[in-house]
């Protein structure tokens, strides 16, 4: 083959450190486009973004030259620095880990809908319940004592 063709779609979830409720509407309105810019600079595309005051969901399409871990390092590091500088919030930080789940093209619209309805969704489930449900749905083995730091 003379050409590399990919459709690398990921649903990524991560929280603020200690699930602090600090991503308020004012910050969210600027943060989501900022994260979209980080992904675009890395030759990816932000397809959907949503979340609540303590966590964020991203649906991203990545270039084959980047790994999920590299992109998340860029997103978390750059957005934390931006929040510290622009919003004068030196206490802000993201949790250390994240969840990343592959998405098929045929399920794209369902994942977009899920991400867009986060506020409604969290009237029924806590972040903890939601995250455990996602891990089980995707058959990811985990040790719960390491999930919440």
CATH of the domain at 91: 3.30.70.1290
Is the pLDDT assigned to residue 116 strictly greater than 90? yes
Would you say residue 82 lies in a domain? yes
The Cα–Cα gap between 143 and 130 comes to: 16
Would you say residue 3 lies in a domain? no
Is the pLDDT assigned to residue 1 strictly greater than 80? no
Please count the structural domains in the chain.
1
Tokens of 101: 């789940």
Is the pLDDT assigned to residue 149 strictly greater than 90? no
Instruction: Give φ, ψ of 82 to 5 degrees.
Output: -60, -45
pLDDT band at 88 (very low <50, low <70, confident <90, very high): confident
Q: Rg of the chain's alpha carbons, rounded to an integer?
A: 15
10 SS3 class: strand
More confident residue, 91 or 131: 131
CB contact at 8 A, 44 and 9: no
The Cα–Cα gap between 90 and 71 comes to: 23
- pLDDT, residue 2, reads 80
């Amino acid at each position: 083959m003379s050409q590399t063709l990919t459709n690398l779609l990921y649903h990524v979830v991560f929280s603020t450190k200690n699930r602090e409720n600090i991503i308020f509407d004012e910050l969210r309105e600027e943060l989501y486009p900022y994260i979209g810019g980080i992904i675009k600079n890395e030759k990816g595309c932000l397809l959907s973004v949503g979340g609540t005051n303590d966590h964020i969901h991203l649906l991203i399409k990545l270039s084959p030259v980047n790994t999920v871990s590299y992109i998340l390092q860029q997103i978390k590091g750059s957005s934390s620095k931006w929040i510290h500088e622009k919003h004068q919030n030196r206490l802000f930080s993201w949790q250390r880990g994240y969840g990343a789940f592959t998405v098929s093209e045929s399920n794209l619209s369902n994942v977009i809908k899920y991400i867009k309805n986060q506020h409604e969704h969290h009237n029924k489930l806590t972040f903890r319940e939601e995250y455990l449900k996602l891990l089980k749905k995707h058959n990811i083995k985990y040790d719960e004592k390491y999930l919440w730091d």
